[in-house]
Chain A
Amino acid sequence: MLRIPCPWCGERDEIEFRYRGDATRVRPAPDAGLDAFVDYVYERDNPYGWHLEWWLHVGGCRRLLKVVRHTVTHEIRAVSGPQEDPELPPP
């Protein structure tokens, strides 16, 4: 089970959060076209290593967080607000 350090509430169990997907994907400009949106909605990497994820703290402050998580060890390296850009550590 993940323990996610929410910047607003402190370290909390994973069940308080809702996973909201891959935070490396950014919504394309409105007129970026079909291919860009297909890519945004459907194409996902499945990295072995560090990953940037959206987590919504529904059982707490209801803030959206960006979480840097290792997909194998589950280590959480950084947690930030949605507008920040935490850097992914090298694999």
Chain B
Amino acid sequence: MSGPVRIRAGLLTDPGQPVAFSFDGRALRGLHGDTLASALLAGGQRVFGRSFKYHRRRGVVTCGPYEPCALVDVQGPRGREPNLAATTLPLHEGLTAFSQNRWPSLDFDLMEVNDLLGRFLPAGFYYKTFMYPGWAWEKIYEPLIRRAAGLGRLDAVVGTHADPAETVHAHADVLVIGAGAAGLAAATLLGSAGLRVTLCEQDVELGGGTLLDARWNDWRRQAATALPALGVRVLTRTAVLGAYGHGVFGALETLTPEASARLGGLRERLHVLRARRAVIACGASERLIAFPGNDIPGVMLAGGALGYLVRYGVAVGARPVLFTNNDEAYEAAMALQGAGIGCAGIVDVRAASAAAERAQAQGIEVHFASQVRAVQGRAGVESVTVAPRAGGASRVLPCDALLMSGGYTPLTALATQMGGDSHWRPELAAFVAEVPPDVGCLAGAVNGRQGLAASAADGRAAALRLCAELAVNVPTEPDGAEPADAAQSALEAFWEVRAKGKAFVDLQNDVTAADVRLAQREGYEHVEHMKRYTTHGMATDQGRTGGLVGSAVLAEARGEPLATVGVSRPRPYSQPVPFAALAGGEVREHFKPRRRLPLHDWHEQAGATFVSTGLWLRPLVYSRQGGWAPVLEEARAVRTQVGITDVSTLGKIDIQGPDAAQFLDFIYANTFSTLPVGRARYGIMLREDGMMFDDGTTARLAPEHFLVTTTTANATAVLEHLEFQQQANLASLRVLISDVTDQWAQFAIAGPRARDVLAAALPNADLSNEAFPFMAAMPVVLEDLPGRLFRISFSGELAYELAVPAQHALFAWESLLRAGEAFGIRPYGLDALNTLRIEKGHITGAELNGNTSAEDLGFGRMLKKQGDFIGRTLVRRPGMLASDRLQLVGVRAVDPALRLRNGMQLVTHEAPTESLGYVTSSTPAVESPGWLGLALLAGGRSRTGARLTASSAIHGENIEVEIVSPHMVDPENLRVRA
């Protein structure tokens, strides 16, 4: 018998609960509590997938989240999801998984030829090879590379999520990251001290390393049971993904299949945790040794083999060999031997060790001062060649698994993200990072401690320190009734066996030690450059099993100590995160808030088609049919009779105080202090750099009371601008600024019959031209509803805007409709509004684009001569006054059958590729056939009457246009003053 097999019940598996699943279409059975990897190993599976570049067969390497090789596709409710680690994927009934990166099958893969061509596929292969000829990149090389690239397969079209994620925000006094001996000890003590503690553990069970040592079972269970009673919030299956400063951490909780089913398919929770302090007790990860064939299925980390045995009762081989440089790894060999699996030998690079004596007492042969020079087998380990390091005769040990251990690397990512520096620790042959003292502390293996008892003591020490810092009473320290750590010999730093064949330092990205040396020879000497040139550590496992090994190979090649060469900087996330988990509930209609008009329901019932503008949902046209006909019908009603439209989205800012007028004089480029009460004025705001910022109508309601209106698009920005200016530059002025956008609904009534409509609705108001001329404002009462009436016009027609408290919008709107019925009033939407304003030459966001000045848009004469205002100095820069700047003009298509498009470039016949400007807004004309628009044109005002070509290269259209005044309707303003 050979190969992996289940030999007993594991700590996590329940033999009474079989689970059916499938792998590559084969129906299989595992146990409740299994991962996909343990269930497949229990069934004897050795090959799990093909490697990234060389398509070599790969098996399981680890028993945890940093698995480089055993990645699978899973067909689930989200579609086909690639690159899930089989080593952490919980087995559940009906799980459908597939191996990756093989074609046509796992056993027979055509791309395996890459392995034979390996010497022609060195690091930097793409950069060196796919260079010439230039045209071939797009047509040949890129499609070829794309087909070969990547590991898993993603569905081309991802459907709506059947299993959404959610985001949880939480606070704690202390966040404990990792629930091994150190984390459990720290959380217990901190909880006893009355602190609010959150404990995150990425594993399905609390315990970390104590899970693998039966002597710790009682201690672990006691601690785990006590935590909830102490008020400690315990999150298992929750990986802390990154530290984001100021005590903010991100963590990903993966729900159990059972919890997911109970919660309507919810699969992940993204936790945003804010803590005053953190105890980082996330442990260390075992690293590989680089030797030829260290990727053959059956070669795995020693700790992984111990994990499969203890957790799932699975022996990873019937005759394993251990290759190690440290004592810790002996536990795996001895546990297997103790379980009745005959160990074929231990290869120790050291000359002697304390653990070796215990192993020999168990009857395991130990080869001291030796190394594994070669591994035989393709689909699985068949034997290994062992030789003394000093040279001499080699031996072949027949075996079916090779457990390797190059030592343990503290997981420093979080500590360095929190601003800690890394220090080389020769006794660990690894870097340990410090954490700045005021953000938290390290405890356990991540702090360089070896042994579970030492880690637990370190966890308590960390907790005591934090209790003192956070000024809480320290509870009496529990007696550390923990099993003692076994005496250990020191490890010997050992990274690579130099022999013929591929020795991998990154199993997922297929990076070999030779690739690292090549990078160094070619000048990529810095560890960050080597990483990017070879892709070492850039895969989903972030090279955790071999990261330090790659650095060690680089250090040797550079002839410098590893302590100076260092490791690449780890950034969030510490493990792969589905985008769905990051999006949480903020998807589709919940992606951003939706602002509905007070009259939304009325608009909907009237048959409106809605359009999103910013956050607002506005009626575009009162028709569900497309095309321009219904829009033009609405616009024509305004030009010939009367229309009504909802302009409640306009920003409305209430300005009050003795210095309100002075404040507005500073904010606006034109003057408002001279505005009489009961009058409105069009105003332009500049930015301090002199460009136009926003425009709108501001009315003086009382001597110390103004109402500013802004464009819909800039409402938020203008409010913040006003608040900033008042508090930063004008603090001495007595002014109060209030946003009243949502408090007032506002309707425009426009058209030759507008006065008739208002007169019918407001029988007591004098609306004569003398009493209420163009740009007048007054309070009115609609039946018994108080409101405000403004005589302002965006459409270019005789027009009024009536504002009423938003909660009475429907009453006012319906009153106006009733009053207007006799005059043929009809509602018009945003498209008609836009059509009307383009004809009139009024600007919106398309023209107020941040690059246009007041002069460019024809408002140069509005700039006041007296007094300071924002933008006053820089608006007079010479460049702002140049005569060839883009200026606002009107354009009219000469041929009425041809349409204009926004973005068309304006060119001459003689120089058809030299842009003189572009069309910003365009529309069919309302009262005559043909298209017109607004444009920004170099020296535009001096070109009035000229003929140019409006050109759209994308559409292949070239249209002759005439440059006209932007005021294409009623340039004398007779209608608005009628």
Q: Are B728 and A3 in contact (CB under 8 A)?
A: no
Please, how many angstroms separate the alpha-carbon atoms of A36 and B877 in the complex? 12
Report A1-53 residues with CB < 8 Å from chain B CB. 1-3, 13, 18, 20, 27, 30, 32-34, 36-38, 40-42
Q: Are B688 and A54 in contact (CB under 8 A)?
A: no
Q: Are A1 and B245 in contact (CB under 8 A)?
A: yes
User: Given the interface contacts A2-B246, A3-B248, does A54 sit within 8 Å of B877 by beta carbon?
Assistant: no
State how many angstroms separate the Cβ of A57 from the closest Cβ of chain B: 10
Please, how many angstroms separate the alpha-carbon atoms of A30 and B601 in the complex? 50
State how many angstroms separate the Cβ of B372 from the closest Cβ of chain A: 45
Q: Is B796 interfacial (CB-CB < 8 Å)?
A: no
- Residues on A with beta carbons closer than 8 Å to the beta carbon of B246: 1-3, 74, 76
- Residues on B with beta carbons closer than 8 Å to the beta carbon of A41: 688-689, 874
> Interface majority SS on B: helix, strand, loop or mixed?
loop
Q: Are A34 and B728 in contact (CB under 8 A)?
A: no
User: Given the interface contacts A33-B873, A73-B419, does A63 sit within 8 Å of B688 by beta carbon?
Assistant: no
Please, how many angstroms separate the alpha-carbon atoms of A38 and B328 in the complex? 66
Report B834-893 residues with CB < 8 Å from chain A CB. 868, 872-874, 876-877
Report B423-457 residues with CB < 8 Å from chain A CB. 436
Please, how many angstroms separate the alpha-carbon atoms of A62 and B245 in the complex? 24
- Residues on B with beta carbons closer than 8 Å to the beta carbon of A42: 689
- Residues on B with beta carbons closer than 8 Å to the beta carbon of A27: 688, 728-729
Q: Is A82 interfacial (CB-CB < 8 Å)?
A: yes
Q: Is A67 interfacial (CB-CB < 8 Å)?
A: no
Nearest-neighbor residue (CB-CB) of A74 within chain B: B245
Q: Are B723 and A38 in contact (CB under 8 A)?
A: no
Report B247-295 residues with CB < 8 Å from chain A CB. 247-248, 274
User: Range of interface residues on chain B?
Assistant: 20 to 34
Report B675-730 residues with CB < 8 Å from chain A CB. 688-689, 720, 723-724, 727-729
Report A47-91 residues with CB < 8 Å from chain B CB. 54, 56, 58, 62-64, 73-74, 76, 82-83
State how many angstroms separate the Cβ of B42 from the closest Cβ of chain A: 44
Please, how many angstroms separate the alpha-carbon atoms of A73 and B910 in the complex? 58
Q: Are A37 and B874 in contact (CB under 8 A)?
A: yes
Instruction: Indicate which residue in B247, B720, B731, B874 contacts A58 across the interface (CB closer than 8 Å).
Output: B720
Q: Are A20 and B689 in contact (CB under 8 A)?
A: no
Q: Are B868 and A20 in contact (CB under 8 A)?
A: no
Please, how many angstroms separate the alpha-carbon atoms of A74 and B418 in the complex? 10
Nearest-neighbor residue (CB-CB) of A57 within chain B: B723
Q: Tell me how many residue pairs across A and B have CB atoms closer than 8 Å.
A: 59
Nearest-neighbor residue (CB-CB) of A82 within chain B: B727
- Residues on A with beta carbons closer than 8 Å to the beta carbon of B728: 20, 27, 54, 64, 82
Instruction: Indicate which residue in A34, A76, A82, A83 contacts B874 across the interface (CB closer than 8 Å).
Output: A34
Please, how many angstroms separate the alpha-carbon atoms of A58 and B715 in the complex? 13
Q: Is B103 interfacial (CB-CB < 8 Å)?
A: no
Nearest-neighbor residue (CB-CB) of A64 within chain B: B727
Please, how many angstroms separate the alpha-carbon atoms of A73 and B731 in the complex? 32
Q: Are A56 and B245 in contact (CB under 8 A)?
A: no
Nearest-neighbor residue (CB-CB) of B729 within chain A: A27
State how many angstroms separate the Cβ of A37 from the closest Cβ of chain B: 4
Q: Are A56 and B723 in contact (CB under 8 A)?
A: yes
Q: Which of B724, B729, B868, B873 counts the most chain A CB atoms within 10 A?
A: B873
Q: Which of B688, B727, B872 counts the most chain A CB atoms within 10 A?
A: B727
Please, how many angstroms separate the alpha-carbon atoms of A40 and B245 in the complex? 31
- Residues on A with beta carbons closer than 8 Å to the beta carbon of B729: 27
Nearest-neighbor residue (CB-CB) of A37 within chain B: B873
Instruction: Indicate which residue in A34, A76, A83 contacts B873 across the interface (CB closer than 8 Å).
Output: A34
- Residues on B with beta carbons closer than 8 Å to the beta carbon of A2: 245-246
- Residues on B with beta carbons closer than 8 Å to the beta carbon of A40: 688
User: Given the interface contacts A3-B274, A64-B728, does A30 sit within 8 Å of B868 by beta carbon?
Assistant: yes
Please, how many angstroms separate the alpha-carbon atoms of A30 and B865 in the complex? 13
Q: Is B125 interfacial (CB-CB < 8 Å)?
A: no
Instruction: Indicate which residue in A1, A3, A30 contacts B872 across the interface (CB closer than 8 Å).
Output: A30
Q: Is B811 interfacial (CB-CB < 8 Å)?
A: no
Q: Are A64 and B724 in contact (CB under 8 A)?
A: yes
Q: Is B628 interfacial (CB-CB < 8 Å)?
A: no
- Residues on B with beta carbons closer than 8 Å to the beta carbon of A54: 724, 728
Q: Are B877 and A1 in contact (CB under 8 A)?
A: no
Q: Are A82 and B244 in contact (CB under 8 A)?
A: no
State how many angstroms separate the Cβ of B662 from the closest Cβ of chain A: 13
Instruction: Indicate which residue in B436, B724, B868 contacts A56 across the interface (CB closer than 8 Å).
Output: B724
- Residues on A with beta carbons closer than 8 Å to the beta carbon of B727: 63-64, 82
Q: Are B419 and A20 in contact (CB under 8 A)?
A: no
Please, how many angstroms separate the alpha-carbon atoms of A74 and B729 in the complex? 27
Nearest-neighbor residue (CB-CB) of A18 within chain B: B720
Q: Are B723 and A62 in contact (CB under 8 A)?
A: yes
Nearest-neighbor residue (CB-CB) of A66 within chain B: B728
State how many angstroms separate the Cβ of A33 from the closest Cβ of chain B: 7
A-B pairs with lowest CB-CB distance, top 3: A30-B868, A64-B727, A3-B246
Further 8 A-B residue pairs, CB within 8 A, beyond A1-B248, A30-B873, A73-B419: A3-B248, A13-B274, A27-B728, A32-B873, A34-B876, A41-B689, A62-B723, A82-B728
- Cβ contacts A to B, 18 pairs, < 8 Å: A1-B246, A3-B247, A3-B274, A13-B274, A18-B720, A20-B728, A30-B872, A33-B873, A37-B874, A38-B874, A40-B688, A42-B689, A54-B724, A54-B728, A56-B723, A56-B724, A64-B724, A73-B419
Q: Hey, which bits of chain A sit against chain B, CB under 8 A?
A: 1-3, 13, 18, 20, 27, 30, 32-34, 36-38, 40-42, 54, 56, 58, 62-64, 73-74, 76, 82-83
